[in-house]
Amino acid sequence: MLKQERVAYILRRLQELYPATPVPLDHKDPYTLLVAVLLSAQCTDERVNQVTPALFAAADNPGTMATLSSEEIRDIIRPCGLSPQKSKAIKRLSEILLEEHGGEVPEDMEALERLPGVGHKTASVVMSQAFGVPAFPVDTHIHRLAQRWGLTSGKNVVQTERDLKRLFPREHWNRLHLQIIFYGREYCTARGCDGRVCEICRTCYPERKHPKKTRKA
């Protein structure tokens, strides 16, 4: 299978498997999504969704969040891990949104990336899922599957994002990145597939004899 044939097949098969792509993190607006994505670093979406109801009951907007102490935020978000850093970032980014953006989450990649605790991936998720701007956030699942499917060398997540954006049409990015995550969690897991087990790996590389080694994100 040539690379372009693999790309066409992957697009078609993932659309068949996941015609609907609900955002995994519970939120009600760009601000609550931003906070939830920040919390999801080194933490599962399921755990984040267990923690955010209590956090958003205490504060679901920058104005209220900024009035809480870092310790109060940390006590609520402790189950998510890295709570000392995350609590300070949430408080400070809330203050910056009030000071510089009128209390609104900016619909701007560079402005998002300047916020404390918000890297390129978090900013990409917010642009994609909150504002519908085409982006291709690469998480550990996407990085692993893109290598198994021969779409990237997987040198690093920056290279993987660049390769996927080049291969797939822009209008598919927002849906596709979620579809790949869903497939990676369900079928092409880190331990459950080695590049020769799941349907897409077997279809893309039917002659693969040895496990596909992948670089970690």
- CA pair distance 4, 60, nearest whole angstrom: 44
- CA pair distance 189, 59, nearest whole angstrom: 35
Say whether 60 is catalytic: no
Look up residue 52 and give its two tokens. Answer: 């955010």
Say whether 26 is catalytic: no
Query: Which one is catalytic: 26, 45, 139, 194?
Result: 139
Q: Which residues contact 12 (CB under 8 A, 6 or more apart)?
A: none
- CA pair distance 104, 195, nearest whole angstrom: 43
DSSP string of 33-92, one letter each residue:
HHHHHHHTTTS-HHHHHHHHHHHHHH-SSHHHHHHS-HHHHHHHHGGGS-HHHHHHHHHH
- CA pair distance 211, 120, nearest whole angstrom: 31
- CA pair distance 121, 131, nearest whole angstrom: 15
Q: Which residues contact 195 (CB under 8 A, 6 or more apart)?
A: 148, 201, 205, 208, 211, 212, 214
Catalytic site residues?
121, 139
